[in-house]
Structure 1
Amino acid sequence: MTKQGLTDGRGDGRGRRPRALVYGDVDMNIIDGSAVWAQSMVQALAAAGCRVTLLLKAEVTTDRLVAPLEGVPGVEVRRPYEEGLLADLGPRGLTPDQAVGLLADLDGRDRYDLVVVRGRRLAVLAAQSEAFKGRLWTYLTDVPQSVPELTAGAVSELTDIAVASRFLLCQTEDLRCFLESAVPAAAGKSVLFPPVVVLPEDLPAPAGSGQDGAGGDGGRPLRLVYTGKFAPRWNTLEMTRLPEALAERGVAAELDAIGDKIHRDNPDWARRMSKALEGTQGVTWHGGKPRAEALRLSARADVGLSWRDPDLDASLELSTKVLEMGALGLPVVLNRTPAHEALLGEDYPLFAEPGAETEDVADVLTLAADPAVRAEAAERCRSASAAFTLERAAERLAGYLDLACPQGPAGTDPARPLKVVIAGHDLKFFTRLADHLTALPGLDVRLDEWESLRAHDQYRSKELAAWADVVICEWCGPNALFYAKHKRQGQRLLVRLHRFELYAEWPRKLDIEKVDAVICVSPYYASLTRELAGWPADKVVTLPNWVDVDQLDREKLPGAEFTLGMIGIAPSRKRLDRALEVLRELRRRDRRFTLAVKSKQPWDYWWIWNRPEEREYYERTYREIRRDPLLAEGVVFDPFGPDVAAWLRRIGFTVSTSDDESFHLAPAECAASGGIPAVLSWPGADTIYSHRWLHEDTAAMAEAIHGIVAEGRFDAVRGAARAEITENYALAKVCRMWTDLIVSGAVPEPVSLPERVAV
């Protein structure tokens, strides 16, 4: 694979603005959530520093969503119908095939740094075309959101999209975690991009929270508002009956309905919907309005409506309309769901209970006639919406742009890039580093992926050895011997050595004079490498493993402090039996403690299961789990997979009970996720983790864990753990270390661990 360098944008090393191409399979003439997404995505990208081109799907018949964009500096709107970009345009807008073709044509004329797309069919075609591979930012909404919907075909399509995408933009944490668990290729690429709320200036003061007696005897009517599409599952026909139902309860009410998209899949329902909008007393249908005007009309109301059919309660998305109304200061009536409880609190006063009918919602609105209730609900909605502003969205996108379009390192020239080869049979521990190096302007990165430890394309490897300025061998195996043999004068060779190779034959065969640096992940293993291999001390450097603290930083699930985690239990030197000792001691004190094990099973590794002593160990250990009452209901085995960040949401402590480790990433990942490392003092552990996380034996580990939880110190301690891991092992920091070593040969400073501090 050859790096496709960025030709323009912040990634070109000259500080230009990144260039973004945006297309949503949405009609910008109709105000609904998908069209509002296109508008707000362009605004947020522009605010994040991008020059943005928006390709429209349909001919513009009303510019209420498009016109505000044409005045934004750095934004260009391309109109395929008006510009005649294609000859065979149909009346319903671009087909997905036509859209992908036009996007490729625009990109071919002037390459974009990122291509943002929305629409599953469109994304599948864009991914399969490979024209935008590695530059797609795919916004996922119309995807399966439950296990029964995850057919083999759906998983295959989502896998294609994930592989081709630089980022998968997910509205909510629930959607991100679900996607990562279902589609392994999505792990590490899925990032949050919640709905964006952009309010026009000069809005009227909200009526919803006023102490004005709306709806009471002698007061003005309670004003309700709904904006968006009119569809059966959105309960819009039922909403038109609310003024009458409230009148029966002695509450005068009026409904403002804003929007012009009536679903017509059921013609009879569509006729009844139109008739209700046009002829129901107390209902005013405003039709479609420019977004700013729709928001101004909404701001005059007392209560917003987002009550929907229970079929939609399992959605893993958030309604942009709910957030907009909250930002306006409007309290909202909406379904009680876990997502809405997380957003507004379990005691939010205007929830419609599951399966609520028109009469039930009228009862809720009767409560909303009380100004005090309305004011409390309005404040909840306003506070919740504060996290979804354009400014917050721009900050989020700016962080993603820094990853996708980094500045070129000092000492490099994009016009004459440093040529770098990464060679190895298994690059899973190097993937994120390779992604970063590949994105850097000033570096031209190519991969030499060997089929196995020894099998590779010798002609290609020789060609790359002759081409490269710098060679990085991941694993000190036959690949390192090959590149040392073929090293050119002036070329630099870096070899990363893991525990696996240290006791094998290859280090003894390596001509260390041809190697510029041997990289180990911990000071202990660097020292051990010098001792066992007899290499010069200055040839062996320490460069730690990376931890993607941003990907792992997710809100913990309730009860996480009572869940221990263990990632990987094979071979037996991982010592699952010791983790069980810790659990047993904890469950003697509090039965809420459990152990979750995320791992392949030992019989999944033939080289482990064929060894009698290994098999005997696991048979004995698993019998112990079944027979010990303290363990039988306290251990859960979870499938092996890359969805570690999602899994860690329910883990409070990750235990490391091994006989030995070269680094052991799992406790560090736990700390980055907002949990706490619990590490036995295996050799070298004190060079990676500070003493506060180390324990001499399983009894001491159990005592420390119980004390943290029982004394209410969990939040304070986990904050300290995350700060330590972020300071020393954050992906961005380790990437800088590698870049400095590759570009200038600079050896990184050793990690600085805090002095011994009581936990």
Structure 2
Amino acid sequence: MTNHPRERDPASGGDDRGSRAGGAAGPGNGPARGLRALVYGDVDLNIIDGSAIWAQSMTQGLAAAGCEATLLLKAPVTTDRLVAPLAEVPGVTVRRPHEEGLVPEAGRRGLTPDQAVELITRLDAEHGYDLVVVRGSRLAVAAAQNEQLDGRLWTYLTDVPQSVAGMTATAVSEISDIAVASRLLLCQTEELRGFLESSVPAACGKSVLFPPVVVTPDDAHGTGEPHQPLKLVYTGKFAPRWNTLEMTELPAALARRGVPAELHMIGDKVHRDSPEWARSMSRALESTDGLTWHGGKPRAEALAISAQCDVGLSWRSPEMDASLELSTKVLELGALGLPVVVNRTPMHERLLGADYPLFAGEDADSVADALTLAADPDLYREAAERCRTAAADFSLDRAAERLRSYLDLVFPQAPAGTDPQRPVKVVIAGHDLKFFTRLSEFLTSLPGLEVRVDQWESLRNHDQYRSRELAAWADVVICEWCGPNALFYAEHKRAGQRLVVRLHRFELYAEWPRKLDIDKVDAVVCVSPYYASLTRELAGWPADKVVVLPNWVDVDQLDRPKLPGAEFTLGMVGIAPSRKRLDRGIEVLGELRRRDPRFTLAVKTKQPWDYWWVWNRPEEREYYERTYRTVQRDPLLAEGVVFDPFGPDVATWLRRVGFMLSTSDDESFHLAPAECAASGGVPAVLTWPGADTIYSGRWLHDSPAEMAEAIHGVVSEGRFDAARMAARAEITGNYSLDRVCGMWTDLVVHGKVPAVQDPVGAAAA
């Protein structure tokens, strides 16, 4: 998850708001964390729909997670059906801009996005909010342009394009701006998160799940048996795509099938984009036989009425089947114990099961056919239980738990022994920090540390004046790469200052380690025991100077449900240069497809010709030409290899990958198999030097043929689930982001050097 720290002026004491918030936070602190949150949705809380209920439940969830939560209203209150219940929630404040005269020029339809952002920044200047939760794309675009809110926005994304055709260049640009300015992007469903990450690179690593929240009265619940006549219920807005006019045909359609039925409709918002449709809808509400229109009701009363009915309706136009959102109404009715008629979509199948009995067809007759099943008590109970079970994961308690975990992530606890008022001053220096970004962001987020970055233009070029200034300022210097940056900071090291150098495979065979004054270095960090041993041998440095801090794996971000058939998809990430040995991966695929043609190989990569230093070498070019010809000319392989674009959307891509291949000649760590394991897949690693110090023997293979045999056995013998659970447990125990960040914190803050040990053995101990 990407942090968005503010640049701190070297002469300043940093951002004291961040120090105050972070210092109070910590895992399990709950209400003691003392965080202040503001919630604003570009929604009218006088109208009961999913977006208005979101504003109410988000405020309640933040309060339950331990925040002082302020809900800022968009429109003047004409009915307090959603606002009044918040008055009873401890820690919640409701601000009414119209009634309080906060925006004198505000119209009766509510604040414009620009007015809302101006008011939010004014209130923030007064109260110092630690996070600002916003909903509404126009509002989010305006908020993203406000530097005062930069890095503190938690943006809930729903009204954004949800198709490739709709994701225009303008939409990508706007969502990218929102993502960059936001600390978190809250996505309602896994489908929406995956689509955003695949379309907007800036969303990767920041997107987290925040599904709809269902809060139902304790005394509202269904009867558990269908009535005679069968009572159908719909709550919400009346609109063409919601099939509300077609729903009014259901009592008559059921009567023709010998099933007496009545329809109860609750709501008062009739869409008037089409005046003719609006007139038809209004006539149907007022005059249809078997239909009772209750009008608009407070939410608690609407739920009480619904609970006295038998079956909920969430039947929509087929054009909405591609929606990446989940209806709050489906979950609310399910929580009441009612089965719900819904369209058959992949999302609903995952929620309720592919064999759920009340999936709707496209017209009223097909829905009536499904509803006749609901008159059967046994089928009714089964459908009701499916909906009740599905809704259980969307409770307010579960929402508060999710929010609490995100608060713990964004506002970590100050390390023991540090004082946020006198922070440890840390410099991170290097020309290419992409492998250190998450660690840098974590260290920056810690109260008790003040982090500044010395970004070098290239290996050798940098602003010497800034580097000298930072060298004189820092308590601890971390050099990413053992290159000229390490030589510079070793030369300018002060007494009492600590210098940590992280060494990669690239520079191990270069000139710089031989020139480094190792006496000036407190620790040289390698990512694996094998490379630590090799570093001691080649550089001749003291054994206790070379330590192992492994690469990290963001287990929480990668832990996503696999797509159906993932066990038949092999994966490779990055195939250049040739020592990555794509040819071996293709050999594994060939062995498997000879046994089962369902196996495929997905390769997420740049192409070799995208790297000039690879493509300009004749032997490299010849290797790839030969390998690609092998795929093209072999009918067994030609239909089994897919190349996917290189990009940061690895977590989304991994949902379809069951086995990650590591077929290289050599690697310093090779993160891709570990990331696949964290995603619920299985590593498949050839025994390159040092592989056995990173991955346990169960994932190692001596040849492509042996690897193919093992993969086929896992799938054909039904051991895939057991294998992937074991792999995830191993990777979480060894390389989780929490564990590795803790090791770096000990090194940076306390100078505590971890003992060199086999990470695989550490997890097993």
TM-score (norm 1): 0.96
Which residue type is aligned with residue 745 of structure 2? T
Aligned partner of 2:229 in structure 1 is: 221
1:63-78 matches, within 5 Å, as 63-78=80-95
Letter of the 1:291 counterpart: R
Match of 1:308, SS state, is: coil
Q: CA contact under 8 A between 1:8 and 1:18: conserved in structure 2?
A: no
- 1:488-536 per-position Cα deviation (integer Å, ceiling 9, x unaligned): 2221111111111111122222222221111110111111111112222
Give the 3-state SS of the residue equivalent to 2:149 in structure 1: coil
Note the 1:147-546 alignment, pairs <5 A. Answer: 147-203=164-220, 205-207=221-223, 209-210=224-225, 214=227, 220-353=228-361, 356-546=362-552
**Aligned pairs (5 A) from 1:473-622:** 473-622=479-628
| Structure 1, 418-427 or 301-310: larger mean CA deviation | 418-427
Q: What secondary structure, in the 3-state scheme, does the structure 2 residue paired with 1:147 have?
A: coil
Q: Structure 2: which amino acid aligns with 1:336?
A: R
Match of 1:117 among 103, 122, 134: 134
The answer (yes or no) to whether the contact 1:494–1:519 under 8 Å persists in 2 is yes
**Which sections of structure 2, spanning at least 5 residues, go unmatched?**
1-6, 9-13, 27-31
CA distance in 1, matches of 2:146, 2:458: 29
Shift of 1:346: 1.4
1:591 counterpart SS class? coil
Change (3 A) 1:123 1:366: same
The answer to whether the 8 A contact 1:8-1:16 is kept is: no
Distance change (3 Å), C-alpha of 1:755 and 1:503: closer
The Cα of 1:666 is off from its aligned counterpart by 0.5
Spell out, residue by residue over 1:36-62, the C-alpha distance to the aligned partner (whole angstroms, 9 max, x if none).
001111111111121111111111111
Q: Deviations over 1:269-310 (max 9, x none)?
A: 222222221222221111111111111110000110111111
* Structure 1 residue 751 displacement after superposition: 4.4
* Residue matched to 1:714: 720
Asked if the contact 1:10–1:17 (Cα under 8 Å) also holds between the matched residues in 2, the reply is: no
Inter-partner Cα distance in structure 2 for 1:674 and 1:426: 30
User: Separation in 2 of the partners of 1:177 and 1:751?
Assistant: 35
Pair 483,13 (structure 1): closer, same or farther in 2 beyond 3 Å: farther
| CA deviation map 1:138-175 (0-9, x unaligned) | 11100111100010000001111111111111111111
Aligned to 1:738: 744
Structure 1 stretch displaced more, 143-152 or 509-518: 509-518
Q: Please give the per-residue CA displacement for 1:562-615, whole angstroms capped at 9, x wherever unaligned.
A: 111111100001011111111111122111111111110000000000001100
Partner residue, 2:11: none
Give the aligned partner of residue 82 of structure 1.
Answer: 99
Mean Cα deviation higher: 277-286 or 114-123: 277-286
Q: What CA deviation, in whole Å up to 9, does each residue of 1:335-365 have, x standing for no partner? A: 1111111111111111112xx1122222222
Q: Call closer, same or farther: CA 1:537–1:712 in 2, change over 3 Å.
A: same
Contact persistence 2:37–2:68 (CA under 8 A): yes
CA contact (8 A) 2:71 2:92 kept: yes
Q: Which stretch has the larger CA shift, 571-580 or 239-248?
A: 239-248
Counterpart CA distance in 2 for 1:415 and 1:223 is: 64
Contact kept in structure 1, 2:222 and 2:307, CA below 8 Å: yes
SS in 2 for 1:60: coil
Decide which moves more: 747-756 or 23-32: 747-756
Give the SS at the match of 1:224. Answer: strand
Kept in 1, the 8 Å contact 2:33–2:66? The answer is: no
Deviates more, 1:621-630 or 1:22-31: 621-630
Structure-2 residue corresponding to 1:30: 47
Amino acid at match of 1:637: F
Shift in Å, 1:10 = 5.3
Find the aligned partners of 1:243 and 1:37 in 2 and give their Cα distance. 32
- Please identify, of 8-17 and 149-158, the stretch whose mean Cα deviation from structure 2 is larger: 8-17
One-letter amino acid of the counterpart of residue 75, structure 2? A
- The superposition leaves residues 445-472 of structure 1 with CA deviations (integer Å, 9 ceiling, x where unpaired) of 1222222222322222222222211111
Q: Which amino acid aligns with 1:164?
A: A
Matched, 1:630 2:636: yes
Contact persistence 2:694–2:759 (CA under 8 A) = no
Q: TM-score, normalised by structure 2?
A: 0.95
Q: Secondary structure at the residue paired with 1:131?
A: helix
What is residue 135 of structure 1 aligned with on the other side?
A: 152
Name the CA distance, whole Å, in 2 between partners of 1:91 and 1:484: 65
The DSSP-based 3-state class of the residue aligned with 1:518 is strand
Ranges in structure 1 where 5+ consecutive residues have no aligned partner: 215-219
Task: Tell me how far 1:706 sits from its aligned partner.
Answer: 1.1
The reply to whether residue 47 of structure 1 matches residue 55 of structure 2 is: no
Whichever residue aligns with residue 725 of structure 1, its letter is: I
Q: Which secondary structure state, in structure 2, belongs to the residue aligned with residue 148 of structure 1?
A: coil
- Using a 3 Å threshold, how does the CA distance of structure 1 residues 710 and 756 change in structure 2: closer, same or farther? farther
Tell me which amino acid in the other structure corresponds to 1:705.
Answer: I
- DSSP-derived class of the 2:234 partner: strand
Measure, in 1, the Cα distance between the counterparts of 2:464 and 2:78: 60
Distance (Å, rounded) in 1 between the aligned partners of 2:377 and 2:25: 57
Name the amino acid aligned to 1:19: R
- 1-structure distance, mates of 2:112, 2:367: 40
Q: CA RMSD in A?
A: 1.6
Question: Cα offset for 1:725?
Answer: 0.3
Shift of 1:755: 10
Whichever residue aligns with residue 726 of structure 1, its letter is: T
Q: Is the 8 A contact 1:227 1:294 kept in 2?
A: yes
In structure 2, what is the Cα distance between the partners aligned to 1:191 and 1:90?
Answer: 35
Q: How many percent of aligned residue pairs carry the same amino acid?
A: 76
Change (3 A) 1:383 1:500: same
Give the CA deviation at 1:13.
Answer: 5.7
Corresponding residue number in structure 2 for 1:217: none
**Structure-1 separation of matches of 2:108 and 2:213:** 30
Amino acid in structure 2 at the alignment position of 1:714:
F
Distance 2:631 2:151 in 1: 45
Residue matched to 2:3: none
Equivalent position to 1:704, from 701, 707, 710: 710
**For 1:402-451, what per-residue CA distance to the aligned partner results, in whole angstroms no more than 9, with x for missing partners?**
11011100010011111111112221111211221111111111222222
Q: Tell me the amino acid that sits aligned with residue 234 of structure 1.
A: W
Comparing 361-370 and 318-327, the one that deviates more: 361-370
Deviation track 1:717-749 (CA, whole Å, cap 9, x = no partner) reads 111110000001000111111111100011224
Distance 2:23 2:609 in 1: 46
The answer to whether the 8 Å contact 2:733/2:763 transfers is no
- The answer as to 2:660 corresponding to 1:654 is yes
Output the CA distance in 2 between the equivalents of 1:717 and 1:412. Answer: 42
Alpha-carbon distance in 2 for matches of 1:349, 1:269:
31
Distance 2:107 2:452 in 1: 43
